[in-house]
Amino acid sequence: MTSSTRNNQAALPASDAAPDEVVIDCRVEKIFYGNFLAVRDSHLPILKNRITGFIGPSGCGKSTVLKSINRMNDLVRNFRFYGHIHFEGQDLYDKKVDPVTVRRHIGMVFQQPNPFSMSIYENVAFGLRLNRYRGDYDARVEEALRRAALWDEVKDKLRNNGMSLSGGQQQRLCIARAIATRPPVLLMDEPCSALDPIATRQVEELMVELKKDYTLVIVTHNMQQAQRVADRTAFFSVDITRGGRTGYLVEMGETTELFANPGEELTREYLSGQFS
């Protein structure tokens, strides 16, 4: 991929020089769905221009935590959040905060590719129009599509419906749509789970490339994927001791460190495949 090599050279120094600045400080005390305690006691500092991966067995609450960050869970009935998520000096769960504005600054890519049923161009321009951007739409759309490594494949059919693309292309279109407005943070909820291996690799390369300008948080059920792309990894597990199935953060650290020397026995067992 030519674009990715070119970019590596351009952005290497910047990435190394960046200090470990915490963009999002996520302190979950309790998350409930109705009376069901879904997640408890998890502190997750998200560092700027890094990829943070959330891994863990199914039902461990990693997706719940991710969707709490941009307040997508507000859509779920009976969802209650106790704790704080600080972003740019504000608590996102403060009463005065408007969840709609939060979602404009914290973009999201979903598990299933979900382009709108409109042209490829309009899909990418959607966020621009939404934020009432006054400027060169063509340039922004092209840039977003290039960064999503999709430009060469779609530049001659921008008027085609976004749904006509293949699964992997659709997911990259969704990424382009999310980054067109350049939100500082991008959340990805198992972005490759519906994709084939080739498309998965393309999206993974894309994530690594995007971290120069964005802070990324990805949820994955795939340990290898976390190892390949994440700088830092958070391992969640399920606590079934009190009859419920409550997820919690076991430990979090640099990916290489976590995989080589897990601090907790549970992490080691999970990483070595003793449960999943």
Closer residue to another protein in complex, CB, 32/133: 133
Task: Using CB under 8 A, pick the residue from 44, 51, 158, 178 that binds another protein.
Answer: 178
Residue 61 has φ and ψ, to the nearest 5°, of: 90, 10
What angle, 0 to 180 degrees and rounded to 10, lies between the N-to-C axes of helices 197-210 and 167-179? 20
C-alpha closest to that of 38 among 172, 233, 226, 239: 239
Nearer to another protein, 98 or 265 (CB): 98
DSSP string covering 213-235 = T-EEEEE-S-HHHHHHH-SEEEE
Decide: is 184 part of the binding site for another protein (CB under 8 A): yes
Q: Is 147 in the site for another protein (CB under 8 A)?
A: yes
Q: Which stretch binds another protein (CB under 8 A): 38-46, 55-63, 85-93, 105-113?
A: 105-113
Closest approach of another protein to the CB of residue 10, in Å: 8
The contact pattern for another protein, residues 12-31, with x = CB under 8 A and - = no contact, is --------------------
Cα dist from 251 to 67, 106, 188, 224, 248, whole Å:
20, 24, 20, 18, 9
Tell me which stretch binds another protein (CB under 8 A): 123-131, 244-252, 259-267, 268-276.
Answer: 123-131
C-alpha–C-alpha distance, residues 276 and 274, integer Å: 7
Q: Is 107 in the site for another protein (CB under 8 A)?
A: yes
Does 130 participate in binding another protein (rule CB under 8 A)?
yes
233: which residues sit within 8 A by CB, 6+ positions away? 52, 53, 54, 55, 226, 252, 253, 254, 255, 258, 259
> Would you count residue 265 as binding another protein (CB under 8 A)?
no
207-246 mask for another protein (x: CB under 8 A)?
-----xxx--------------------------------
Closer to another protein by CB, 131 or 166: give it: 131
Q: Does 198 bind another protein (CB under 8 A)?
A: no
Under the criterion CB under 8 A, does residue 83 sit at the interface with another protein?
A: no
Spatial contact of 207 and 216, defined as CB atoms under 8 Å apart: yes
The dihedral over CA atoms of 150, 219, 128, 139, expressed in degrees to the nearest 10, equals -30
Tokens of 13: 């120094």
**Would you say 105 or 228 has its CB closer to another protein?**
105
Q: Looking only at residues 58 through 77 of this chain, which bind another protein when binding is defined by CB under 8 A?
A: 70, 72, 75, 77
Alpha-carbon distance values, 95 to 81, 84, 98, 99 (Å) = 12, 12, 8, 10
How many helices (H) and strands (E) the chain has is answered by 11, 10
Instruction: Point out which residues bind another protein (CB under 8 A).
Output: 7, 10, 70, 72, 75, 77, 98, 100-105, 107-108, 110, 112, 114-118, 126-128, 130-133, 135-136, 138-140, 142-143, 146-147, 174, 177-178, 181-184, 212-214
